[in-house]
Amino acid sequence: MAMNRCEPCGKFVSFEAVEPDDQGTEISVAGAYGSDGESFNDIQVTGTVRVVLQCADCGQDLAETEIEFDFESTFNHEAGCEIDPESSDDVTSEEVEYEFAEGSEGKGRRPKRFYGAGASVNVTCGLCEASNTFTDEQLTQASHFEPSQ
Ligand SMILES: [Zn+2]
Ligand SMILES: [Zn+2]
């Protein structure tokens, strides 16, 4: 697979990462629960981003893929937070931020290359002022990317 061959440059080139393009992200906050004066909310993040790999020399789009995120985590309030268990109105999230991520697997001359995105979102409670950051990373093997048109 000659995905990293750039036609305008007429040669094999290395990839340059582009900021992932957010195709739609949703954050849901479930009502609080807890015991012993400690409350929790479940936070679920679902989203899709488009990751593009460009020619490092001329910027031509060479390959791309869509990456799905679906992760869930628990928001921890400060002890004694008096959040209404029926409501999640006091728990607010910032926008999910995505950034390019990469990795490799295996040693030697031809390690498998993976590209994708990391997601990060800050969530805060307006009552107890607790702040939690949730992160996730999704990588796709380079050979599973589609050649760009
Ligand atoms: Zn090029
Ligand atoms: Zn709280």
Per-residue pLDDT of the chain (149 residues; tens, 9 = 90+): 457 889 999 999 999 988 999 999 999 999 888 776 688 899 999 999 999 999 999 999 999 999 999 999 999 999 888 888 888 889 999 999 999 999 999 888 888 999 999 999 999 999 999 999 999 999 999 889 999 87
Tally of domains in the chain = 1
Which residues are within 5 Å of ligand 1 (an ion), measured at CB? 6, 8-9, 55, 57-58, 60
Q: How far apart are CA 44 and CA 62, in angstroms?
A: 33
What distance in angstroms lies between residue 52's CA and the mean position of ligand 1's atoms? 14
Q: Is the pTM of this model over 0.85?
A: yes
**Structural domain that includes position 63:** 5-147
Ramachandran angles phi, psi of 77, nearest 5°: -80, 165
DSSP H helical segments within the chain, as ranges?
none
88 C-alpha to ligand 2 centroid (Å) = 10
